[in-house]
Structure 1
Amino acid sequence: MKRGYLSDYFEGVAVKRLSAVEADVIRSNQHEFNGVEGLKNILGEPSGKVRFTAKFLYLTDQDDEPIAEDGFLTWYDARQRARIERGVMRWEYRLYFPTNLVSQCAAEGDLLVIAKKSDDTLLAVVAEKGTTIEHQILWLFGFSDLTHPGFSVKSELENEQDRISFAARVVLEQIGVEIEDEAPNYLDEMLLKFNGTFPKTTEFSVYARSTLPDLSGFEDPDNALLRWMEREEILFRTLEKHLLGNSLRELTQNHAEDTEAFIKLVQSTLQRRKSRAGSALENHMEQIFQDHKLCYSRTPVTEGKKKPDFILPSINDYHNLEFPASRLTMLGAKSTCKDRWRQILNEADRIPHKHLLTLEPSISENQTAEMQDENIQLVLPQGLHNTYTPKQQQWLMDVGGFLDWVKTLQY
């Protein structure tokens, strides 16, 4: 098996859109899918009823966290007994699942994903129709045409499309698959440098960049930003795994019966991950501004205590009403958008046309159309543009293009 591909985590995946009848079926008590013959390519030929442990997720752009529930899926051939007892040569495969929170959310047109993981468990995902996360899942697994009523199935996940890129990592983590990349060669150095603790985000970003000395934020800002973010993520997870292991061992020894202490540790870990990713993007973009000798203010106060990520050339120019508004730029930075991109709309009243930097791949056309209607220009590294449709790519701006545009205003 090749390393660094989707096959590291999945043996196969099947997707389909839910019809009105199917949506009603999975919300009612009759939780069986017909027309699932294609699933035997990933679930195998059942002998009796085969029960798979499963994780169910319902995903939408409105919620940061998915609706999730553990359960099972049962795979069987409803005609197997008739073939054995009466020689009736018919096959009728079915997939059964119990009522749960996810099935109750499903609606006509939603995307259903059944993925067999490498540990022989199943991941069952329902993604709301027309959302970015639906678009991302289809891109991740390389599906496009879902016009036929049955499942579209892929059991080979080692093509170039299946390589786990930075963009793929982003989507995988949204469907609950944590990438296991680590950089153990740097662990001792990090423990010594940071005294066995988590450093400040700015300090960690500087360190991450130092491990990639051949990258230049001046010569190739698009590649540098993406590579710096990817390296920082891997280094952070390496350090986190070590420090979290120490914390868990200490809790186990000293607070074995205190479940609240374990819950707090998990919550603080998740919160640290989220806040660090956003800060890292700002840190690396700030370095690129410095490399290009651009003037900027980071997280300044505009109106009503609003704090955009960057105002260019400066917040003093912004508050100087004699300074032309046409020479002002606002850049928001969000590692992932979801519906949170709307937060930047009122962060700088003097700048009607705003820019938003993100690392989120394959945002839906519905979302990018809304951004355009709200006078927001999406900026993302060139290496992520191919996750978008050709129509979207005509509108997207890369980091280098954004820098060139700002220079026309400053120089």
Structure 2
Amino acid sequence: MKPGYLSEYFEGVAAKRLSAVEADETRSNQHEYQAIARMLEFMGRPDENTRLSARYVYLNDDDPDPIVEDAFLTLYNCRKGQFRKGKPRSPEFRFYFPTTTVSLNASEGDLLFIAKKRDGGLLVIIAENGSSIGRQIEWLFGFVDLAHPGFSVKSELETEQDRIEFTSRFILENIGIVVETSEDSYLEEMLNRFSGRFPTTREFSAYARSTLKDLDPKEAPDLVLMAWMEREEILFRTLERYLIADRLSQGFTDNAKSDVDVDGFLSFSLSVQNRRKSRVGLALENHLEMLFVECGIQYARTAVTENKAKPDFIFPGDAEYHNPTFDPLKLTMLGVKSTCKDRWRQVLAEADRITDKHLLTLETAISAHQTDEMRAKRLQLVLPRKLHETYTVTQQAWLMDIASFTELVRTRQA
């Protein structure tokens, strides 16, 4: 086990595409997956039928929340007690799975992942065929080609590919794995600077940047943006963990009733979730704004366009956009979304004067179906260069990095 790597959370993971028999309960009632030898290296070779606790998760790109159900997976030797020519047959292990809401949603071709966690529990994930989330989990665990019928296995999860960074943390959280990160050496300074409370996102983004010296956005905008985002995420989690622990230590009591304040606790919990959801997108916009400033680029943030739409960035500015004599070919629009899902289509209606629009995201491995639709709608996807490797070779030829985008805008403003 190596802290900061996937091996900190998983002993091993296996992946395959579901066959028709495995996915369609009307075609088979066996409810089984065929185990292979490399899986048994971390799953074990039990003498008796062994029921393992398992959390089943179904994911697609359409539903905001996954389908989750706790059940079991039974590992057994289907040849136990069988003989051939008077000798015991060599063992053949299979996994038996029960009917769950997750299995009922599965279809032929969907991706199946069986991961053994460090606590011994199993995580059984089914991701819809062709989905972005399925591609993201493939990338997370380093699976390249799952076209063959059997399982592919990863059990050494300590290579550089397996290092947990900003983008991989979000994928892990989508499958229910909470990654604890902190930089405690900054905690006292943050508590003093922010008076023991959460500052505004602008303040916190500026503070995060101040802790990273000698970074030049003009020379390496892709690397700098990711470094700023990574640092802010770690510092935020450090401060958040302390402030949440402090609030929980005070308890939730309704003094009027001398009872537990359930509503107060739920309200606090909801505020934590909402803060996490909104903060990442705002942090990304904050750091991009500073990057544009450092690069000497003129811009307007959340300018109002047609039908009161508010694109995240208009270049060179609001006045130029609303000036009918200003050449529209010198206008640029950039939408910013930390993750896309189907929300990327919102960008299409945010600046009518600009035909070819741009969208910057930190989402890895968006499906080819979605990127093909973006191209058809004349929406150019922009990502930090490091994230391009999570896309197919065909997709990478079309993607734009931040350095190319800033150069495009500077050229139009020259």
Shorter-chain TM range is over 0.9
Specify which of 343, 362, 366 is matched with residue 365 of structure 2: 362
Corresponding residue for residue 125 of structure 1: 125
Q: Using structure 2 for the length normalisation, give the TM-score.
A: 0.93
Letter in 1 for 2:307: G
Cα deviation, 1:387-410, whole Å, max 9, x if unaligned, reads 222222221111111111001111
Corresponding residue for residue 139 of structure 1: 139
Cα deviation, 1:344-388, whole Å, max 9, x if unaligned, reads 111111111110111112222222111111101111111222222
Corresponding residue for residue 216 of structure 2: 216
Gap runs ≥5 in structure 1: none
Cα deviation, 1:224-252, whole Å, max 9, x if unaligned, reads 10000000000001111111112222235
Structure 1 contact 251–261 (Cα < 8 Å) conserved: no
Q: 1:150 to 1:349 in 2, by over 3 A?
A: same
Query: What number of residue pairs does the alignment pair up?
Result: 409
Secondary structure, counterpart of 2:398 in structure 1: coil
In the alignment, the residues of structure 1 paired with residue 45 and residue 385 of structure 2 have an alpha-carbon distance, to the nearest angstrom, of 44
Letter in 1 for 2:5: Y
Secondary structure, counterpart of 1:71 in structure 2: strand
Secondary structure, counterpart of 1:345 in structure 2: helix
Secondary structure, counterpart of 2:180 in structure 1: coil
Corresponding residue for residue 286 of structure 1: 289
The aligned runs of 1:379-390 (5 Å cut-off) are 379-390=382-393
Structure 1 contact 26–32 (Cα < 8 Å) conserved: no
Corresponding residue for residue 182 of structure 2: 182
**Structure 1 residue 184: deviation in Å?**
0.5
Structure 2 contact 253–261 (Cα < 8 Å) conserved: no
Matched, 1:323 2:351: no
Structure 2 contact 383–401 (Cα < 8 Å) conserved: yes
In the alignment, the residues of structure 1 paired with residue 27 and residue 302 of structure 2 have an alpha-carbon distance, to the nearest angstrom, of 46
Q: Using structure 1 for the length normalisation, give the TM-score.
A: 0.94
Secondary structure, counterpart of 2:204 in structure 1: helix
Letter in 1 for 2:132: T
Gap runs ≥5 in structure 2: none
In the alignment, the residues of structure 2 paired with residue 59 and residue 304 of structure 1 have an alpha-carbon distance, to the nearest angstrom, of 35
Corresponding residue for residue 248 of structure 1: 248
**Structure 1 residue 28: deviation in Å?**
7.7
Corresponding residue for residue 149 of structure 2: 149
Corresponding residue for residue 166 of structure 1: 166
Cα deviation, 1:7-32, whole Å, max 9, x if unaligned, reads 11110000010111111139986433
The aligned runs of 1:95-110 (5 Å cut-off) are 95-110=95-110
Letter in 2 for 1:163: R
Cα RMSD for the two superposed structures: 2.0
**Structure 1 residue 258: deviation in Å?**
4.2
Q: 1:59 to 1:26 in 2, by over 3 A?
A: farther
Q: 1:264 to 1:56 in 2, by over 3 A?
A: farther
In the alignment, the residues of structure 2 paired with residue 256 and residue 295 of structure 1 have an alpha-carbon distance, to the nearest angstrom, of 56
In the alignment, the residues of structure 2 paired with residue 48 and residue 127 of structure 1 have an alpha-carbon distance, to the nearest angstrom, of 31
Letter in 1 for 2:140: L
Secondary structure, counterpart of 2:25 in structure 1: helix
Cα deviation, 1:311-365, whole Å, max 9, x if unaligned, reads 1111121111111111111100111112211111111111111101111122222
Corresponding residue for residue 10 of structure 1: 10
Secondary structure, counterpart of 2:24 in structure 1: helix
Corresponding residue for residue 57 of structure 1: 57
In the alignment, the residues of structure 1 paired with residue 73 and residue 266 of structure 2 have an alpha-carbon distance, to the nearest angstrom, of 29
In the alignment, the residues of structure 1 paired with residue 74 and residue 18 of structure 2 have an alpha-carbon distance, to the nearest angstrom, of 19
Structure 2 contact 35–95 (Cα < 8 Å) conserved: no
The aligned runs of 1:383-402 (5 Å cut-off) are 383-402=386-405
Q: 1:232 to 1:374 in 2, by over 3 A?
A: same
